Amino acid sequence: MLQRKSLHQVILLALFFLMFSGKYFGQDKNTLEFYLTTAEKNSPLLNDYNNRIFSSKIDSLKQRADFGFKVNGIADASYSPQFNGWGYDGNSTINGNNLALLGRVSRDFLGKDNLNTRLQNFSLIIQQILNQKKLSVLNLKRAITEQYILAYSAQEQFAIDKEIIHILDQEDIILKKLTQASVFKQTDYLTFKVMHQQSLLNQKQHEADWQNNYAALQYLSGLVSTDFKKLSAPNIENTGDLDFTKTVYADSFKTDSLKLANDIKIINYDYKPKVSAFADGGYSSALIHTPYKNFGVSVGLSLTVPIYDGHQRKMLIEQKVIETDTKTKYLKYTENQYLQQINLIRNQMQQYQELLKIARTQMKYSQTLIEANLKQLPTGDVRMVDFILSITNYTTLKTGILQYENNLLRLQNNLSNLIVQ
């Protein structure tokens, strides 16, 4: 009996957890974090970067194998005819009738530093790809966040319209009765109805804007869905450290500089003497004297010494030095633009924060005025034009506050995902 009770409790806890988890994860799908994660997961560009990284790792393994032992099978058969003494020397082992069936093992000898330098080249290529990926992620995050803010702004504007229409719907019933009782003029009531209908039209327009921006958000995130859900307020992470030396731009310059320096090392190694060794064994015969005895082995060494190439080595190194100088100047320019954007964004954020402070103070007075008008409206102690004006001011202020808040979010997005154009 005790075991059944314990099992029953476990089942109830599991069901409760599943219900809670379903609700929780369902809500998570309406957050900025969900769309950022989904967009990164669905991005074909980021997947391309991942595949390029894997491909570069394979290239590194190929490079290592290229300087290891190689085993080849060699088959060669030839016949060189002679006419009246004219033709290849038949006494030569490589002329006349010749048949060779060999197995050859060969290897290029490369110094440890030489090999490590060449392998380091692939590590730097992978790091360059990672830097490109980081910049693409930054662009993607900025675009998704921007679209999310637009969709959320349209959603909140629709909510403001809904609130205003709810007030007008309630007052419409009262005003219609008061107009029939001659408390208000027919023209006053018609003026109210015009504003009421205009508010309904605005709501329809803002609902369409909301749906279009929501659909654009789904599209950018790589989602295929016809669902239309309410979005949570965007939570944009505050950027504490904006040190340029820790940005992807500085990392890219550092990696590119190391890559160029490594390229120069490889150029220098390409002009060093190269030693190769080989060993083969099998059958090789001119098919003249005792061909059944022509089984054997051989070993050999090969030395290649570069002597003259028209000064190409010097020109190649000069090109790398010029490229390094170009990237250094670009880095300095990028750093100046980066710092200038930070100052510009922070100044704009300060301005909108001051505007928000003023607008919220005015909103308190506007709400108080509407409440007073709503109390006096049933008795006819307030003019219709004053009531309409108070509603209009309230709507304008609330829309303005929403716009200021969204502008702050967009600036915060630009600061958190700062991109130098």
CATH number of the domain enclosing 163: 1.20.1600.10
Give yes or no: residues 81 and 60 share one domain: no
Q: Provide the mean pLDDT of the chain.
A: 85
pLDDT of residue 87: 63
Percent of the chain with pLDDT over 70: 88
44-94 confidence digits (pLDDT tens):
999 999 999 999 999 888 888 777 777 777 777 666 676 776 765 555 444
Range of the structural domain that residue 77 is part of: 70-109+276-305
Q: Indicate if 297 and 324 belong to the same structural domain.
A: no
Mean pLDDT in residue range 359-363: 93
Taking the CB of residue 87, how many other CB atoms lie within 10 A of it? 12
Least confident range of 132-136, 137-141, 368-372, 406-410: 368-372
Q: What is the mean pLDDT of residues 266-290?
A: 81
Same domain membership, residue 116 and residue 105: no
Domains of the chain: total = 2
Question: Which of 8-12, 34-38, 271-275, 303-307 tops mean pLDDT?
Answer: 34-38
Rounded to two decimals, the pTM is 0.81
Q: Does one domain contain both 328 and 360?
A: yes
* Band of residue 381 on the pLDDT scale cut at 50, 70, 90: confident
Of 286, 305, 324, the one marking the end of a domain is: 305
